[in-house]
Structure 1
Amino acid sequence: MRRLITCVGECLIDFMPLAEGQHSLGYGVDFRMYAGGSIFNVAVALARLEQPTAFACKVADDYFGQYLRTYMQREQIDTRFLVEAPGTRTTLAFVAEQDGHPTFSFYGEGAADALLMANEIPEALYTETRILHFGSISLLRGSTPQAVLHILERLRGKALLSFDPNLRPNLVQDEQAYRELLRRAFSLADIVKCSDADMEWIYPGLGNEEALAELLRQGPALVVITRGGHGVLAARIGGPVVRVPVFPVEIADTVGAGDSFCAGLLARLSELGIDERGRLESLTPEQLSQVLCFASGVSALNCTRPGANPPQRAEVEAFLRKA
């Protein structure tokens, strides 16, 4: 029975700066630990939106790995697809802010979430997943990128495949190989969500609408571009461009905003029964606009508190009623 929305990718520890811990040079020196990682954030947000959610990853048995597993269980995320990696360590990321945007420093060479192998993936993932979400830094390191591609190839045509590249260009070591991997992922995915910054790196010199059209030609049935305060652009194959504005909120920070958006997008599509490519291709502009509005509401609420802290379902519904 295919019922799960499965997220496959990185789970790590984010260290967020505390505003009160400032060095005389103006740099933050005190940090607080949070469970994190783009794909992990999407899983948490989906669970809080009351979707049956599973997470697939290789997890260390160190202190941080044990914390991550416990955190998932507390959030009611299905952990059956986790693979334990004794003797390894967990990826750590330090988050700071420069010029109003979050910056990330990753420490993850040889970390567990980069070491997933295709033959370690439980068979139940393939039989129980109806929507799969992947992307971000899990496609940059170790054996995990090839394991993810293996999953995509097995699930193509059997589950809806959602991809958020969530690019970190400073972590790319072989740009040509990475661009080739992105092209492969675009050709396999049914849904691609990118930020405008992602699009600028993928298609330098193209405007957002040109880039959207070009990406649709690569294979996805639906492409969504988030543009921060400038709203969202989206189009399905053969359909018009749909534009949705952002919700005005007081912003605490934007960490996890795109991840919360992805979760809102997938949750609303799931609730509409759109869990296969044919139904996605038949999505009307009105339905697409409603889906994007829901996703934008989830993202907006995440931005009202520090760190990646997606809202509960009841919060989203109350927020949208007042909007």
Structure 2
Amino acid sequence: MILVVGESLVDIVVRSDGRRSEHPGGSPANVAVGLGRLGHPVMLATCLGDDERGHVVREALERSGVELAPGSVGRAPTSTATAWLDARGAARYDFDITWDPDGLDSLSFGPIVHTGSIASYLGPGADAVEELVKRASATSLVTFDPNVRPRLLDDREAVLSRLTRLVAYCGVVKVSDEDLDWLYPGIAPNVVARKWLALGAELVVITAGARGSFAVHPAGEVHVASATTPVIDTVGAGDACMSGLIDAMTTTGVVTSDAGDPAAGVRGLSLSDLRSFMHHANVSAAITVGRAGAEPPTRDELPPITDSHTRRGVR
């Protein structure tokens, strides 16, 4: 089972014409939903309130096959993120977040553990997430999406310190070019990615919206164009890219539950493999931006992976 750790919340979407709607969201929760819709057994360790919005989120997770970890429902109200959309569908966010998870120290780990976003930096839960990542890295491939929210984080140096410690335990990091602009202003993204490889990561994928995505790996660097589609909004696009990337690594056998070195398969990828995996992730994101809210694709909607890994039995 894939374990995802991080915030669940309700996205309150305010469109440029003033229309409002509410959708279950939260970056890690979106990744869990994306994996569940693709047929992967997945558990989400999160914080939800025992309130109306919390019930809506729980029902949405259940419909997508996501299991809640023990301790995920508490007394605090369910968190919210208000997404203000411009005329192009791009979002800026305001947050009302509680991140104080219970029971992370008792969770068991499968072949992949994913975390990121607000849960990685916001107290009091960020310390527990960091300890979990350290423990998980010994037996699981840890994937990480920094997904920085500057409106919640007023101390960039503290964020950088936390991120640097986390990256050292993560096999795969997916990050947006906007995040890198805030984290490392004036430094080229591939230079940052190479720094993260030196810290311990095996693969860094940088998403750049309409410019596609870039992978930096010990084997070299790869650029893959974005999959074109009409954009309704960009809510959840990066999360759908992340779930698509994890899906590619899992369904092709790159990540298995019996690997002595959990990152070995990622380390051994060829540039051709990476190109195919990134295309798969980009298509997942493109499907998501073509509809309102964070609605990642199902298995039937996402085209099959076509690369050298098809010999391993991938459909």
Q: TM-score, normalised by structure 2?
A: 0.90
- Which one of 166, 184, 191 corresponds to residue 147 of structure 2? 166
Aligned twin of 1:25 = none
Structure 1 residues 283-307: Cα deviation after superposition (integer angstroms, max 9, x where no partner): 1111111111111110111011111
Question: How many Å apart are 1:130 and its aligned residue?
Answer: 1.3
- Residues 1:13 and 2:13 aligned together: no
Residue-pair matches, total: 299
User: 1:82/1:34 Cα in 2 relative to 1: closer, same or farther (>3 Å)?
Assistant: farther
Aligned twin of 2:104 = 121
Question: How many Å apart are 1:318 and its aligned residue?
Answer: 7.7
Aligned twin of 1:77 = 66
Unaligned segments of structure 2, at least 5 residues = 256-261, 307-315
Question: How many Å apart are 1:245 and its aligned residue?
Answer: 0.7
Question: How many Å apart are 1:49 and its aligned residue?
Answer: 1.2
Q: TM-score, normalised by structure 1?
A: 0.87
Aligned ranges 1:154-233 → 2 under 5 Å:
154-233=135-214
Question: How many Å apart are 1:183 and its aligned residue?
Answer: 0.8
Distance in 1, Cα, partners of 2:289 & 2:59:
25
Aligned amino acid, residue 220 of structure 2: P
User: Contact 2:11–2:81 (CA<8 Å) still a contact in 1?
Assistant: yes
Aligned to 2:194, the other structure's residue is in SS state: helix
Aligned twin of 1:104 = 93
Distance in 2, Cα, partners of 1:5 & 1:79:
12
Unaligned segments of structure 1, at least 5 residues = 23-27
Aligned amino acid, residue 238 of structure 2: G
Distance in 2, Cα, partners of 1:176 & 1:206:
16
- Residues 1:32 and 2:18 aligned together: no
Distance in 1, Cα, partners of 2:42 & 2:304:
23
Aligned to 1:126, the other structure's residue is in SS state: coil
Aligned twin of 1:250 = 230
User: 1:213/1:319 Cα in 2 relative to 1: closer, same or farther (>3 Å)?
Assistant: closer
- Residues 1:279 and 2:265 aligned together: yes
User: 1:318/1:201 Cα in 2 relative to 1: closer, same or farther (>3 Å)?
Assistant: same
- Structure 1 runs (4+) deviating above 4 angstroms are none
Structure 1 residues 98-120: Cα deviation after superposition (integer angstroms, max 9, x where no partner): 47420111122xx3xx1114xx2
Question: How many Å apart are 1:43 and its aligned residue?
Answer: 0.7
Question: How many Å apart are 1:75 and its aligned residue?
Answer: 1.4
User: Contact 1:191–1:223 (CA<8 Å) still a contact in 2?
Assistant: yes
User: 1:165/1:96 Cα in 2 relative to 1: closer, same or farther (>3 Å)?
Assistant: same
Distance in 2, Cα, partners of 1:292 & 1:265:
7
Structure 1 residues 234-258: Cα deviation after superposition (integer angstroms, max 9, x where no partner): 022x211011111111111111110
Aligned Cα root-mean-square deviation (Å): 1.9
